[in-house]
Amino acid sequence: MYCNYLRKFDSKVCYNFGFKRIRPFVGVLFEVNNILYFAPLSSPKEKHLKMKNTIDFIKIDNGKLGAINFNNMIPVIEGCYEIIDLNNKNNEKYAHMLNMQLFWLNRNYDRIKYKAKTLYNKYINNTLDKRIKNRCCNFPLLEEKCLDYHVKIKV
């Protein structure tokens, strides 16, 4: 519901549903300028192996475990996300991949956080290359709408 709400204001907010079902919207949580942000992970794809890391994209384990799309990061508030239990035995293959991603993410957390903050600050300061800015979510607008949503669910 939260992603659908944000998508009303910014079409670059990712979808978290596939064919006939909602799928987990897995990502990394971190703080940028006192605001909690969620950067979505992309599942491993053949194209990731050939792509380069950029200011708004980083490969996980050289692309073998997917990627992080910083351009699609969104502000979140408590209650709009949940922590995934990786000990859930419903899909062991998926849980194994998530555990491998988590291991890599934990080892590279400072680098990930730095990359997210750099992208955010360049977006805010209008020093980001125009092509990259055009593929990014509108961070200031989404922060405003995030706060509005928080007020709405509190009422």
What is the domain partition of the chain in residue ranges? 2-154
pLDDT, tens digit (0-9, with 9 covering 90-100), for 77-128: 887 787 777 776 566 777 788 889 999 999 999 999 999 999 999 999 999 9
pLDDT at 89: 59
**Architecture field, domain 2-154:** Roll (3.10)
Contact 142, 74 (CB under 8 A): yes
pLDDT band at 154 (very low <50, low <70, confident <90, very high): low
Burial class (CB in 10 A: 0-12, 13-18, 19+), 138: middle
The pTM of this model reads: 0.86
- The answer for 126, left when phi > 0, alpha when psi is -120 to 50, beta otherwise, is left
Task: Inform me whether the pLDDT recorded for 19 exceeds 60.
Answer: no
Please count the other Cβ atoms lying within 10 Å of the Cβ belonging to residue 112: 20
pLDDT at 141: 97
Q: How far apart are the first and last CA of the chain?
A: 16
pLDDT at 10: 94
Task: Inform me whether the pLDDT recorded for 75 exceeds 80.
Answer: yes
Task: Inform me whether the pLDDT recorded for 36 exceeds 70.
Answer: yes
Rounded mean pLDDT, 135-143: 96
pLDDT at 26: 80
Rounded mean pLDDT, 33-57: 91
Provide the percentage of residues in the chain whose pLDDT is more than 90.
55
Mean pLDDT for all residues in the chain: 86
